[in-house]
């Protein structure tokens, strides 16, 4: 029986939950700021909003693929070099966390901005779990 890598399992669960929240909850939030067709520059605003929505779901796709990759690493022998993929995913999530954190720092401040926009902490946690799970992974 294949031994389950708990940190990778937790990272996979977190990315899966983030995918669901991002895809469903995020799209609901995005829809709430969709420009009204009655405004003068509706087409321009709609184009910008649509690009933001496409970019949003680009991240949803990233989260889905990370969930699939982490699950395949933990429960199947689909990849030859699991450690390399885990190292890349760890860097990927650390990078996402750092970009998110830097954007918060560079943006105008508001009360509790680091907590209200705490996705950086989730991304950092996933990166740490994957990094720790990489050490436990059999090649």
Collect all residues with Cβ–Cβ distance below 8 Å to 83 and sequence separation of at least 6. Answer: 134, 137, 139
Residue-wise pLDDT tens digits, 30-85: 999 999 899 889 999 999 999 999 999 999 999 999 999 999 999 998 999 999 99
pLDDT given at position 71: 97
For 68, the token pair is 């699939």
The number of residues making up the chain comes to: 139
Between helix 82-106 and helix 119-136 the angle, nearest 10°, is: 160
Give the Cα separation of 128 and 119 in Å (integer).
Answer: 14
Statement: the pTM of the whole predicted model exceeds 0.95: no
Three-class secondary structure of residue 86 per DSSP: helix
Residue 8 and residue 133 in contact, taking contact as beta carbons nearer than 8 Å: yes
Q: pLDDT tens digit string along 50-59? A: 999 999 999 9
Q: How confident is the model at residue 113 (pLDDT cuts 50, 70, 90)?
A: confident
User: Could you tell me if 123 and 93 are in contact, meaning their C-beta atoms sit under 8 angstroms apart?
Assistant: yes
């Amino acid at each position: 029986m294949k031994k389950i890598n708990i940190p990778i399992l937790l990272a996979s669960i977190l990315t899966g939950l983030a995918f669901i929240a991002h895809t469903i909850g995020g799209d609901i939030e995005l829809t709430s700021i969709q420009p009204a067709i009655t405004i003068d520059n509706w087409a321009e605003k709609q184009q910008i909003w649509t690009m933001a929505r496409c970019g949003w779901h680009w991240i949803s796709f990233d989260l889905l693929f990370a969930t699939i990759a982490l699950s395949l690493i933990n429960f199947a022998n689909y990849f030859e070099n699991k450690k390399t993929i885990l190292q890349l995913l760890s860097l990927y999530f650390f990078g996402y966390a750092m970009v998110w954190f830097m954007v918060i720092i560079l943006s105008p401040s508001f009360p509790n901005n680091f907590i209200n926009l705490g996705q950086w902490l989730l991304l950092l946690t996933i990166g740490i779990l994957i990094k720790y799970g990489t050490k436990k992974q059999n090649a």
